Amino acid sequence: MADRLKGKVALVVGAGSSGPGWGNGKATAVAFAREGAAVVCADVNAAAAEETAAIIHAEGGEATALRVDVTRAAEVEAAVAASLARYGRIDVLDNNVGIAEVGGVVELSEAEWDRVFAVNLKGAFLTMKHVIPVMEGQDGGSIINISSIAAVRYTGVPYASYYASKAALSHLTRTTAVEYAAKKVRVNAILPGLMKTPMVEKSSGLAQTYAGGDVEEMWRARDRQVPMGHMGDAWDVAWAAVYLASDEARYVTGIELVVDGGITLKMS
């Protein structure tokens, strides 16, 4: 283990993986622990949160698993209270929760629109609402919101609610960063590009849009879009988060750290 986050307590929301393999939140939680942090692994899927915590324990790290639905204020408040009861502070909040529903404004149902916004935007609002006062009472902290290049570009897939919710999350990050900068609470966003993660694999809508439902062809098509010639993976997001969580980024707030292999450089 290294020590870039030694002595810090990190609350990773969405720390479970939505399927076999490494999702962004799962990799981030493990990376934080490998760098010395005690990690609260929170996820709506209790078994997935426990799996991530077990990986950390097996590597000699410190972790606690919590089940939390970030769309419910009482559950978020309880998760923050449980984190404080266990560790006494929260130095890092990493918001890794996100879902996507394929469909433009005509095709999407109102319920689908509301669900995406509840998970992608309201969840980050609620966690920041309850964690920021904790950080204000300490010597500051670092908040990392996982947005997307979909916040700034049309990526070729029609999912209006995903674009809009991620754009709103990015702007919420910027404005909150300004508001709390003097309190030493840093708020930054990571914008992943085309990533090879379980969430993407599970999305039948994405596979259908890209390749008529053929997941392997979808991977190849996404690889071809990226100037580097391949998608990123969860660890690319995780190591970006380690930097933003660490004191190395002590003078960094309100940024959008793009992790995309150069794809936004060629999108019109």
Q: List, for residues 159-170, the tens digit of each pLDDT value.
A: 999 999 999 999
Q: Extract the tokens encoding 110.
A: 């109102």
pTM of the model: 0.94
The answer to whether 39 touches 12, Cβ cutoff 8 Å, is: yes
CATH numbers and ranges of domains, the chain: 9-199+233-258 (3.40.50.720)
What is d(CA 112, CA 105) in angstroms, rounded to the nearest whole number? 11
Question: Residue 257: beta bridge partners?
Answer: 190
**Quick check: is 154 catalytic?**
no
User: In the chain, how long is the greatest CA-to-CA distance?
Assistant: 52
Q: What angle do CA 183, 188, 190 make, to 5 degrees?
A: 165
The answer to whether 127 touches 96, Cβ cutoff 8 Å, is: no
**pLDDT tens per residue, range 69-88:** 999 999 999 999 999 999 99
Q: For the chain, which ranges sit under pLDDT 70?
A: 1, 203-204, 268
Q: Which amino acid would we find at residue 152?
A: V
Catalytic-labelled residue, pool 87, 154, 159, 162: 162
